[in-house]
């Protein structure tokens, strides 16, 4: 195992914990994580559909996808390939072929802190993919790279085995140890929002807190 080329042991996910987040709004999950655990600057490239799975992390040299190919060989159904490409968008790290390979092998989706290409193939498909950019330029395939290591994705630290959830608002990462608490808080927030929407509809919506808060700041 030479410096820069490392594949660490797999960190298995818990399907029961993953399922706690099925179809929960990412914005509400983010709120329940105190707005501190989501990737910033990544955009959904797929037509539609919810991303949910377990993080299989990959750290690559910007513009090089050798170890992403290796991760595609090592992953298991339900994995999300979470790739730290350093946020560099001058060369694409994946394209349509690697999308099809991931789909055929049962991956749940891609999160790429870098660029993709063959954007139309992603836009015409429901296979989840988030990336920082798009470019026609292809990647190098020389390495180095590391698999199953902590990575940085849009300002968020992601550990192998973290739960990954994504919708049109973006992507968040949930540590398995916090999953039950975060899921419960997210569902409560959803219930509270349903009640708020109902109060707006029936004319009983109360936003007196705004004036009260401003008064506490000295505004008269």
Distance of CA 152 to the CA centre of its chain: 11
**Is 118 assigned to a binding site?**
yes
Domain contains 182: no
Measured CA to CA, the distance from residue 195 to residue 145 in angstroms comes to 48
- Kindly report whether the global pTM for this prediction surpasses the value 0.75: yes
Into how many domains does the chain fold? Answer: 2
Pairing relation of β-strands 109-116 and 156-158? unpaired
Residues 139 and 83 in one domain: yes
**Is 90 assigned to a binding site?**
no
Backbone angles phi, psi at 10, to 5 degrees: -65, 140
Domain contains 88: yes
Domain contains 108: yes
For residue 151, the model assigns a pLDDT of 98
**Is 95 assigned to a binding site?**
yes
For residue 2, the model assigns a pLDDT of 64
Each residue's pLDDT tens digit, 145-163: 999 999 999 999 999 999 9
Each residue's pLDDT tens digit, 25-82: 999 999 999 888 789 999 999 999 999 999 999 999 999 999 999 999 999 999 999 9
**Is 98 assigned to a binding site?**
yes
Residues 57 and 105 in one domain: yes
User: Domain limits at 197?
Assistant: 187-217
**Is 96 assigned to a binding site?**
yes
């Amino acid at each position: 195992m030479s410096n820069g080329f490392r594949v660490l042991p797999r960190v298995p996910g818990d399907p029961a914990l993953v399922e706690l987040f099925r179809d929960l709004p990412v914005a509400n999950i983010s709120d329940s994580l105190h707005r501190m655990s989501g990737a910033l600057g990544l955009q959904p490239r797929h037509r539609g559909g919810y991303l949910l799975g377990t993080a299989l992390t990959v750290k690559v040299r910007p513009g090089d996808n050798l170890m992403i190919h290796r991760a595609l060989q090592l992953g298991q159904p339900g994995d999300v390939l979470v790739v730290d490409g350093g946020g560099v968008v001058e060369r694409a790290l994946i394209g349509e072929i690697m999308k099809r390979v991931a789909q055929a092998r049962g991956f749940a989706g891609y999160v790429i802190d870098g660029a993709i290409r063959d954007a139309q193939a992603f836009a015409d498909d429901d296979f989840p993919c988030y990336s920082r950019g798009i470019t026609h330029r292809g990647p190098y395939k020389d390495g180095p790279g590391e698999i199953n290591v902590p990575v940085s994705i849009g300002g968020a630290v992601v550990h192998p085995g973290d739960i990954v959830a994504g919708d049109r608002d973006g992507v968040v990462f949930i540590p398995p140890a916090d999953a039950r608490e975060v899921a419960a808080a997210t569902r409560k927030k959803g219930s509270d929002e349903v009640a708020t929407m109902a109060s707006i509809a029936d004319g009983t919506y109360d936003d007196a807190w705004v004036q009260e808060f401003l008064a506490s700041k000295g505004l008269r």
